[in-house]
Amino acid sequence: MSAISVGQAVVLGAVEGVTEFLPVSSTGHLKITEGLMNIPVDDNAVVGFSAVIQVGAIAAVFVYFFKDIVRIVSAWGRGLRNRDERHHHDYRFAWWVICATVPIVVVGLAAKPLIEGPLASLWVVAASLIVGSGVMWAADQMGRHRRGEGETTFKDAMMVGSSQILALLFPGFSRSGATMSMALMLDLDRVAATRLSFFLGIPALTGAGLYELKDALGAGVGAAPLAVGTVVSFVVAYGSIAWLLKFVAKHSFNAFVIYRIVVGVLLFGLLGAGVLN
């Protein structure tokens, strides 16, 4: 019997799609939802399932930013063949994304037992939601929002890419929240920070999903729940991406900060009352 039913996969896929790119922590929301459905959050099959359905969300990024990705990859390919093409920003940006992914890969492999064990606790999620909201608020207030996407540098990419480690180690901190906050601290504007977060998430999330696929299937998650959860995640994430880019163009991150605090406090209350384990 599958560790997760098709019905549960639909719910979890929708939660993943809505929250993966919003700075509210998809991992945290998945773990909360799993807890409410009496699914063990630290079970290897469940952890693997959560990583695999992220591929659906990241596929939405590929589709939504298809023209940008083709342009960047094409520039990278031309630069590999022709030295004269290497001055283009897109060529350099492609290398920056590759280099900025290395830190999270190294930490992810080294800390896998902790990530899937003690750090998978809902207590960690609750604390990370609240602490991360403070970081996000401070970054939005301190950032001068004066640099656009075309002005990003190798330093920006490495610092923003490395900030993903916070979300990896502390579910609830939010990968999007960590990367956007770091980008804002580096004075990128909100739209540039959001788009950079999307692009840096492509290799990290895709790699994590593919890495966990074998373990998820072997640990007791059926192919049907994985497929359904991934498809639902893709559809919902596409709409979430479109909405977020329009929202950040005109609004601050304060709404997300308040929401995270409310969810974190509520989660502490549910854990303290014994409603969730």
Structure token digits, residue 92 = 């350099």
Single-letter residue type at 202: I
Query: Is residue 217 pLDDT above 70, yes or no?
Result: no
**8 Å CB contact between 171 and 31:** yes
What pLDDT score does 220 carry? 63
Residue 175 belongs to a domain: yes
What pLDDT score does 214 carry? 67
What pLDDT score does 215 carry? 65
Q: For 147, phi and psi rounded to 5 degrees?
A: -115, 135
Q: For 25, phi and psi rounded to 5 degrees?
A: 80, 100
Residue 183 belongs to a domain: yes
Residue 1 belongs to a domain: no
pLDDT digits (tens, 9 = 90+) for 122-137: 899 899 999 999 999 9
Residue 164 belongs to a domain: yes
Indicate the burial class of 106 (C-beta count within 10 angstroms; 0-12, 13-18, 19 or more). Answer: exposed
Q: Which domain holds residue 209?
A: 6-272
Residue 217 belongs to a domain: yes
Residue 106 belongs to a domain: yes
pLDDT average, residue stretch 235-256: 95
Residues 150 and 20: their CA atoms lie apart, in Å, by 25
Query: Is residue 16 pLDDT above 90, yes or no?
Result: yes
Residue 265 belongs to a domain: yes
Residue 277 belongs to a domain: no
88 Ramachandran zone, left/alpha/beta (phi>0; psi -120 to 50): beta
| Chain CA centroid to CA 247, Å | 18
> Total structural domains in the chain?
1
